[in-house]
Amino acid sequence: MSLVAIKSAIDALSAPTISFTVLTVLFPFFFPPSDWFEKIHRKLGFWRLWTKAGGITGLVLITAFFVIGYYDKNFNITLTKPDNFPIVLMIYSMFFFIWLAMYKAYRNDIRIDQGLKPEEYNDPDDKVLVWPDLVYIEFIALILFQVFLIVWSILVAAPIEEPANPAATPNPSKAPWYFLGLQEMLVYYDPWIAGVLLPTMIIVGCMAIPYMDINKKGDGYYSFKERRVGIFIFMYGWVVLWLFLIVIGTFFRGPNWNFFGPFEYWDLHKVEALTNVNLSELLWVKLLNQGLPSNILIRESVGFLSVGFYLFILPVILAKTVLKDMYEAYGPTRYTSLMVFGLVMLALPIKMYLRWMINLKYIIAIPEWFFNI
């Protein structure tokens, strides 16, 4: 296959519909939350990623992608933009630290399987001295990091653009990298939800994790098996729903926030049809061939029912059936909190798929009250 063909394939595969799906589907096979997944994880040999060889392979693949991408005319522009250098660093560092943690976790898991204590068990019990053991290391790290920053500032000029002109908006107008995940969410959700509600839930949720967690194992030492559900859920939210959206926002979103493959030219005039419909329109207009009812509550009744079911009735059903053990173990408070945070988090990929598959715009659409979900 020629390089051009490979690039076109990568372009096609990076479309969010495909790449996000692939990631979501493959994710539990990398961080298996249950035995069934674990079996396939072992069978397909994914566990090898968490070995030294796997780590090196991963780093090499990432580097190879960037090197090949550097020589592509279009990807080069995005890659060498001074603003995007931290994202490249982020990809490397995130991969490395996740790999390191899982590597250590797997080593410990092997030892635990063998009935041994985890490696951290042999760490000294007593305290270590702040000086030199803590601070000396930090100091050396500080100096090296300072050198890194100095060299970076000498080699790369600050990306200053023209004076801000209220009449000329840059296109694309991208948020800083730490908000790119949110900007991507804005494609699927109303600004109130994507910009206020979801970030609040993320922050509050992160704060609440220690209080919801009742698993006493895996405390003070790395372990995957002993905390696999929690790790899986967190990793999914972290890597797929946050980091990956940042990567999409950096490399795959171009002018007019259109999607462009990494090797695709950012054509300002590219036009994509955006023909999204609200759930109420789907029901009343398309399905029932009527006009929209004038009463808002009737109009959005399907939406209210679905959301109501999803948030309030589904947890109850689950508590009584599939998650019965969990409900008993966690207790009602913890269970409810977990459900709230978990269901809201899951709402993001669900909405994304509803958008992609049936062009759904809003489940509940009440622009009169600025309330859209």
Partner 1 sequence: MFKNDERYWDINLLNKWFAISSLVFLLSMIWTFIDDNDDEFKDYQKKFRQLQIKATEKNLGQELDEVKDVREKYDKEFAKAQSDYDNQSDQVKSINDELGKFRADFYKINLNYSEKKAKLDVIKFHLESENAHHLEGEIAQDSHHGAETKEKYKIKTEELYKVKLDKENLEIEIAKRERILKDLKTTLKEVQDTRDKILKKVNIAENKLNVLDRSKMSFMNKIGDIVRDLPILDFMDPYYKVKQTVVKDIHYDVNFTAMPAVDRCTSCHLGITDPDFADAEQPFTTHPNLDLYLTSKSPHPEESFGCTSCHAGRSRGTSFVSSSHTPNTPEQKHEWEEKYSWKKIHHWLQPMLPTRYTQASCFKCHTNTSDLAGAEKINLGLTLVDRSGCNGCHVSSNWPSTAKSGPDLRKLNEKSHPDWVAKWIQNPRDFRYNTRMPHIFEQANQENPKIAKRNITEIASITHYLFKDKITRKNNNPSKYLGNPANGEKLFSAVGCMGCHVSEQDPSMAPQPITFKELTKLQGPNLIGMGSKVTPEWLFNWVKNPHEYMSTTRMPNLRLSDSEAKDLTAYLYDNKNYDFDQKRVPEVDKTVLNELTLDWLMKMNPEKYAIEKASKMTEREKMSFVGEKSIRHYGCFGCHNIDGFMDAKPIGVEITYEGSKPVDKFDFGLMHDIEHTNYAWIENKLRTPRIYDRGKESNPLDLLKMPNFHFTEEEIEAVTTAVLAFNTDKVGETLLAHKNAPDYNKEGHRLVKKYNCQGCHLIENRGGQLVEHIGAPEYGPPNLNTQGRKTNPNWLIKFFNNPMTIRPNLQVRMPSFHQISDKEWDTIIKYFQSIDNENTGYRAPHQFVTGSRKFKAGEKVHELGACNNCHFYGKTFPIQTASTWAANLALTKERLNPEWVVDWMREPQNIMPGTKMPAPYLPTPDVLETDDAVAIWGKDLVKLKGDQEAMLEGLRDYMWNIKGKVDISEEIKAYFDENGYDFSEGEDDDEDDWDEEDW
Segment 157-186, which members bind partner 1 (CB under 8 A)? Answer: 160-166, 168
**Does 271 help bind partner 1 (rule: CB under 8 A)?**
no
Which one, 4 or 156, has the nearer CB to partner 1? 156
C-alpha distances (whole Å) from 126 to each of 123, 131, 136, 156 are 9, 15, 19, 46
Which one, 81 or 320, has the nearer CB to partner 1? 81
Which one, 12 or 140, has the nearer CB to partner 1? 140
* Residue 363: Cβ within 10 Å count: 21
C-alpha distances (whole Å) from 93 to each of 18, 108, 149 are 25, 22, 16
Which one, 171 or 359, has the nearer CB to partner 1? 171
- Cα angle value 219/222/224 (rounded, 5°): 100
To which H or E segment does residue 372 belong?
A: strand 371-372
**Does 143 help bind partner 1 (rule: CB under 8 A)?**
yes
Which residue in 136, 211, 309, 312 binds partner 1 (CB under 8 A)? 136
Single-letter code of the amino acid located at 56: I
Q: 18: which 2 tokens?
A: 């495909």
Single-letter code of the amino acid located at 323: L
- Taking alpha carbons only, the member of 27, 26, 24 closest to residue 353 is 24
Closest distance between partner 1 and the C-beta of residue 150, in Å? 4
Which residue in 13, 18, 110, 150 binds partner 1 (CB under 8 A)? 150
What DSSP state is assigned to residue 293? P
Which residue in 45, 115, 124, 220 binds partner 1 (CB under 8 A)? 124
Q: Which span (90-98, 140-148, 202-210, 304-312) binds partner 1, by CB under 8 A?
A: 140-148
**Does 135 help bind partner 1 (rule: CB under 8 A)?**
no
**Does 121 help bind partner 1 (rule: CB under 8 A)?**
no
Closest distance between partner 1 and the C-beta of residue 128, in Å? 4
Q: Return d(Cα 97, Cα 85) in angstroms, integer.
A: 18
Q: Return d(Cα 87, Cα 264) in angstroms, integer.
A: 19
* Residue 3: Cβ within 10 Å count: 11
Q: Return d(Cα 37, Cα 167) in angstroms, integer.
A: 54
Q: Which span (128-136, 211-219, 224-232, 317-325) binds partner 1, by CB under 8 A?
A: 128-136
Number of residues that bind partner 1 (CB under 8 A): 24
Return residues touching partner 1 (CB under 8 A): 124, 128-129, 132-133, 136-137, 139-140, 143-144, 146-147, 150-151, 154, 160-166, 168
